[in-house]
Amino acid sequence: MLVEIPDVLTPEEVAHARRVLEAAAWVDGRKTAGEQAALAKRNLQIPEDSDAAREVGDLVLRALGRSPAFTAAALPLRVLPPMFNRYDVGMKFDAHVDGAIRQVPGTGIRLRADVSSTLFLTDPDDYDGGELLVEDTYGAQAVKLPAGSMVVYPASSLHSVAEITRGSRWASFFWTQSMVRDDGRRAMLYDLDQSIMALRATLPDTHEGVLGVTSHYHNLIRAWAEL
């Protein structure tokens, strides 16, 4: 399941994030990649333990906390601190699958990467190329969103970032351990959530149809959630 979420960050928050990141030091992105991924990866990243990463990461986490769409799509249990990357001309990330287990920096806490997220910090008109290409049930989907918008998709998906031919593409990326590890079940719950929202737009919350579908949704989460 691939879900696009608009306006996760406000324009002011995007501008602030860009100012902080522009003043920070960037390093070769291969330093944070596994042995296999390093062969495919050509980009720059902000060090995870830097003040800039922590400041902008906290901004992103606050934004996720106020996003019902992210909660509905990811059903988050734990979110890895956001990271930040940059693709300049000639840079790309060939097809790969994200590692299944991530460690929270500076702790012994491990997180199962169920859901991958990319939050765009550059508008599409500012660069050519740089599409996020995600393979799913319906083939490859190309994603290139406005600054402040985000896409979430299964971390098990084969995906890549197309080569940049003009400009520079900046983004935040991170992983979520979901309360529901199976993507098929998460997709069913997301569709059910969207149906509930549509019903509530036309019917009162006390309507038996709304109550019935909402009960079904919560009982499925009760059956499938891992806490």
* Architecture, CATH, for domain 183-224: Irregular (4.10)
Domain boundaries, the chain: 3-178, 183-224
Could you report the per-residue pLDDT of 32-45, keeping only the tens digit for each?
A: 666 666 678 899 99
User: Would you say domain 3-178 falls under CATH 2.60.40.1580?
Assistant: no
Compute the distance between CA of residue 145 and CA of residue 151 in angstroms, rounded to an integer.
Answer: 8
Q: 61: how many CB neighbours lie within 10 A of its CB? A: 13
Compute the distance between CA of residue 103 and CA of residue 110 in angstroms, rounded to an integer.
Answer: 4
Helix and strand numbers (H, E) in the chain are 6, 17
pLDDT of residue 14 exceeding 80, the answer is yes
pLDDT of residue 81 exceeding 80, the answer is yes
Q: Extract the tokens encoding 168.
A: 């520079």
Could you report the per-residue pLDDT of 67-76, keeping only the tens digit for each?
A: 999 999 999 9
pLDDT of residue 173 exceeding 90, the answer is yes
Q: Averaged over 160-183, what is the pLDDT?
A: 98
